[in-house]
Amino acid sequence: MIVPINIKTGTLIQSEIPNQQDIIVGIDLGTTNSLIAYINPQDNLPTIITDEEGNNGLVPSILHFTDNSNWIVGNDARPYLISHPQTTLYSIKRLMGKSYRDIAEHNQLFSYQIIDDDTERLVKIRVNNRFYTPIELSALLLKALKERAETTLQTTISKAVITVPAYFNDAQRQATRDAGKLAGLDVLRIINEPTAAALAYGIGTASDTNTSETIAVYDLGGGTFDVSILRIEEGVFEVLATNGDTFLGGDDIDRAIVQYWITQCPDLGINKSMYRELRLRAEQAKKYVSDNHSTYSHVTQIFEFGTAIILALNPDELRQILLPFIERTLTCCRQALSDAQLTTTEVDKVIMVGGATRTPLIRQKVSELFGKPVYNELNPDEVVALGAAVQADILAGNQRDMLLLDITPLSLGIETMGGLMDVIVPRNSKIPIRAARQYTTQRDGQSGINIAIYQGERDLVKDNRCLGEFVLRGIPAMPAGLPKVEISFTIDADGITRVRATELRSGVAQQIEVKPQYGLSEEEMSQMLLESVRHAQTDRDTRALQEAINEANTLADTADHFIVRHADMLSTDEINLTRDHIAALRQSLSSNDKDLIHTYIETLNTHTRPFAERVMDAAVAMAMKGKQALSNDILE
């Protein structure tokens, strides 16, 4: 390595001192709170990066714009939630990779302005007179985290691992990656939050000697609940199932406490800003009672028209409020287990993630469900960032390199003749993956093929979701059926999908990165799966019919061609009769009866078979004659 020297002073330029290894940070970009962590070279332990004073590891994912070009992030932005709701943004993660249509029914959750002029495209947020995409806003959060790390560690940070929920689809993962890029970070990998949590506990790392284990990760954050069942085999992570509720978290508990207080003091005159104040008080009360379990009750005072109103929360009241929420999360856990076809006894470890799991009652109920103590030694709101730092360390080559494996939630494929879905990467395939299939052209001299990419389980593409489309152009003129077009799908470790079409004879190729126009919510995904099961029989029938129609069309076209090309070898009667059979076959298509169509296909085939033989014989005879002529030539 060349060490730059300052010519004037003759000293080494500090930042370029050799052996100073690049620090790769791990980032938990959360809905409510975000954190940044690294492996401390002194003790080799994952460590949350605090601010310069050494406090506040948690950075609230809140962004307040003081004007168009100035903003503040985190704790400093928090007070503006109440005073400036229009210019103070929160829960941005919910909008990542989403269209307005995706979030329309939850619009009231956001106090800021989400633009709804185009329901299909990715959402934008209006602040003052400017429009921001969720990617830009997330980038501002990431930038603040990056700067925090740079100030505290006194070095530049340019590489990161960022975590996302296990159910995030391609659009959401890509959006997260783009946000990192925009913040000046080289995002080495996007990893799943439950995977990170497991890594933080050393599960699946080189020091873990268990060869195979099944773990459940229970993550109750501020606004969302996720449970994931993972299998870890020799350092390979596989998501067996995920479940959850995207609208269930600590915030809902806070709202329920406010509701409880309102019923307690019916005279409380509630307006919007007072409600927000009450919510903050409710969160304080919840945390207080959680942390000082069973001994204290929390008392808060708020003032209305100069009169003090006393609001209280004791452990028993909190327990009553919590129970229905906990039950909902346990239902999701049972569902995830049943999807993974596992019983609670087959789960080796249960990891608690998310600030809301600091509440002892939640830990207790989860532990009861799984029949074993839960892992909660690490701070549940820090564990994801810590694990991201471990993954960063693995990527830096400091630990045995491990592949992090995930699965595709839905099948991927392309549209073929008649609008049929041709699956290339089946649902639940392990990623990274490359899968390919060969196709050919339908028409003579066809120079382009349209490739439409779909995601879903239904047999007809119209029932699935289009992810993108492109045209492979420049195929050299060849008779139909001769070009060999290979369509390959490559899904990398981040779940980003690339589709490539190559005409193998000529080498003409075209590739696109699939960036879905808008995201797919968890509900939509399960909806799609459900539909595919419900329509399985009709889908099979539709597919069989469509395949018969495709076969009939190809055969009719070929036969048409044949009688024109070989008219000299056929009698007029033969030609006319063939025309009749072709017409009858085409006629049969409108019957929508696949058996009938097959009968006509068979009839036409039987009728033309002798002609084909005749042509073959003639061709052979010609070839022989050619050979003879050739040998004569030589002889003479």
DSSP 448: -
| 15 Cβ contact partners less than 8 Å away, ≥ 6 residues apart | 155, 156
* Virtual torsion, Cα 255, 260, 265, 270, nearest 10 deg: 20
Query: Based on CB atoms, which residue is closest to ligand ADP, 255 or 484?
Result: 255
Q: How far is the CB of 271 from ligand ADP (least distance, A)?
A: 23
Query: Based on CB atoms, which residue is closest to ligand ADP, 31 or 228?
Result: 31
Residue choice 30, 74, 315, 456 for contact with Mg ion (CB under 5 A): 30
Query: Based on CB atoms, which residue is closest to Mg ion, 30 or 315?
Result: 30
CB 148 within 8 A of CB 59: yes
Q: How far apart (Å, rounded) are the C-alpha atoms in residues 23 and 159?
A: 7
Q: Which of 28, 102, 381, 457 is catalytic?
A: 28
Q: How far is the CB of 173 from ligand ADP (least distance, A)?
A: 17
Q: How far apart (Å, rounded) are the C-alpha atoms in residues 355 and 379?
A: 8
Strand ranges, E, within 169-224: 186-192, 212-220
Residue 355 binding target from ligand ADP, Mg ion, none, CB below 5 to 8 Å by type:
ligand ADP
Bridge partners, 72 (sequence order): 64
Residue 87 binding target from Mg ion, ligand ADP, none, CB below 5 to 8 Å by type:
none
CB 563 within 8 A of CB 578: yes
Catalytic annotation present for 28: yes
Q: How far is the CB of 251 from ligand ADP (least distance, A)?
A: 5
Catalytic annotation present for 93: yes
Residue 291 binding target from Mg ion, ligand ADP, none, CB below 5 to 8 Å by type:
ligand ADP
Query: Based on CB atoms, which residue is closest to ligand ADP, 226 or 459?
Result: 226
Q: How far is the CB of 190 from Mg ion (least distance, A)?
A: 15
Residue 74 binding target from Mg ion, ligand ADP, none, CB below 5 to 8 Å by type:
none
Residues within the interface to ligand ADP (CB under 6 A): 30-33, 221-223, 249-251, 283, 286-287, 290-291, 354-356, 358-359, 381
Q: Which of 102, 170, 178, 219 is catalytic?
A: 219
221 binds Mg ion (CB under 5 A): yes
By CB under 5 A, how many residues form the interface with Mg ion?
Answer: 2
Q: Is 383 exposed, middle or buried (0-12, 13-18, 19+ CB in 10 A)?
A: buried
Residue 245 binding target from ligand ADP, Mg ion, none, CB below 5 to 8 Å by type:
none
244 binds Mg ion (CB under 5 A): no
| 10 Cβ contact partners less than 8 Å away, ≥ 6 residues apart | none
Phi, psi of 302 (to 5 degrees): -125, 160
Q: How far is the CB of 163 from Mg ion (least distance, A)?
A: 8
Residue 287 binding target from ligand ADP, Mg ion, none, CB below 5 to 8 Å by type:
ligand ADP
Q: How far is the CB of 184 from ligand ADP (least distance, A)?
A: 23
Residue 234 binding target from Mg ion, ligand ADP, none, CB below 5 to 8 Å by type:
none
Per-residue HEC secondary structure of 475-537 comes to: CCCCCCCCCCEEEEEEECCCCCEEEEEEECCCCCEEEEEECCCCCCCHHHHHHHHHHHHHCHH
Residue 541 binding target from ligand ADP, Mg ion, none, CB below 5 to 8 Å by type:
none
Bridge partners, 10 (sequence order): none
DSSP secondary structure letters along 91-152: -GGGGTT-BHHHHGGGGGG-SSEEP-S-SSSBP-EEETTEEE-HHHHHHHHHHHHHHHHHHH
* Virtual torsion, Cα 290, 292, 293, 296, nearest 10 deg: -110
Q: Which of 170, 193, 494, 503 is catalytic?
A: 193
Query: Based on CB atoms, which residue is closest to Mg ion, 222 or 235?
Result: 222
Cβ of 613: how many Cβ atoms within 10 Å?
10
Cβ of 597: how many Cβ atoms within 10 Å?
21
Q: What is the pairing mode between strands 236-245 and 225-233?
A: antiparallel
Instruction: Give yes or no for a cis peptide into 432 (omega within 30° of 0).
Output: yes
Query: Based on CB atoms, which residue is closest to ligand ADP, 138 or 542?
Result: 138
CB 367 within 8 A of CB 272: no
355 binds Mg ion (CB under 5 A): no
| 435 Cβ contact partners less than 8 Å away, ≥ 6 residues apart | 424, 425, 429, 488, 489
Residue 228 binding target from ligand ADP, Mg ion, none, CB below 5 to 8 Å by type:
none
Q: How far apart (Å, rounded) are the C-alpha atoms in residues 117 and 129?
A: 16
Structure tokens at 559: 């036969």
Query: Based on CB atoms, which residue is closest to ligand ADP, 261 or 454?
Result: 261
Q: How far apart (Å, rounded) are the C-alpha atoms in residues 606 and 610?
A: 8
Q: How far is the CB of 463 from ligand ADP (least distance, A)?
A: 34
Residue 205 three-state SS: coil
Query: Based on CB atoms, which residue is closest to ligand ADP, 16 or 291?
Result: 291
Query: Based on CB atoms, which residue is closest to ligand ADP, 235 or 244?
Result: 244
508-567 residues near Mg ion, rule: CB under 5 A: none
Q: How far is the CB of 220 from Mg ion (least distance, A)?
A: 9
Residue nearest to ligand ADP (CB): 250
Query: Based on CB atoms, which residue is closest to ligand ADP, 60 or 413?
Result: 60
Residue 251 binding target from ligand ADP, Mg ion, none, CB below 5 to 8 Å by type:
ligand ADP
Q: How far is the CB of 177 from Mg ion (least distance, A)?
A: 18
Site string for Mg ion, 165-204 (x = CB under 5 A): ----------------------------------------
Q: How far is the CB of 355 from ligand ADP (least distance, A)?
A: 2
57 binds Mg ion (CB under 5 A): no
Catalytic annotation present for 193: yes
Q: Which residues lie near Mg ion (CB under 5 A)?
A: 30, 221
**Among all residues, which ones are annotated catalytic?**
28, 93, 193, 219
